[in-house]
């Protein structure tokens, strides 16, 4: 898979949504550890400047 398996494109919001952060059991811990609201913390994430649905690229 070319993207994180927990990221899914939301057409209505025109962005990817992280299902890990919305998980009722693990979400709060994931939000703290992954710095929710600051964008993906992956060091080589070049998609930040070009947000679009990449599922079919």
**By the 8 A CB rule, do 36 and 25 touch?**
no
Give pLDDT < 50 ranges for the chain: none
- What is the distance between the alpha carbons of residues 54 and 24, in angstroms, rounded to a whole number? 27
pTM of the model: 0.54
CA 1 to chain centre: 14
């Amino acid at each position: 898979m070319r993207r994180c398996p927990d990221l899914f494109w939301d057409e209505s919001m025109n962005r990817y949504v992280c299902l890990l952060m919305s998980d009722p059991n693990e979400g709060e811990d994931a939000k703290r550890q992954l710095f929710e609201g600051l964008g993906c913390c992956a060091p080589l994430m070049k998609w930040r400047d070009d947000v679009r649905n990449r599922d079919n690229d």
